Amino acid sequence: MGLLQRALPLVGTLYLCYLALQPPPVRWIGLICLAVLTPFLVGWVAGNLLGIGPWAGGEE
**Out of 16-25, 29-38, 48-57, least confident range:** 48-57
First to last CA, the chain: 12
Percent of the chain with pLDDT over 70: 93
Which of 18, 51, 12, 55 minimizes the C-alpha distance to 4?
12
In this prediction, residues 10-39 reach a mean pLDDT of 93
Boundaries of every domain in the chain: 10-50
Contact 41, 49 (CB under 8 A): no
The whole model's pTM is what?
A: 0.73
Crossing angle for the helix pair 26-45 and 3-20, to the nearest 10 degrees: 140
Predicted pLDDT at 1: 64
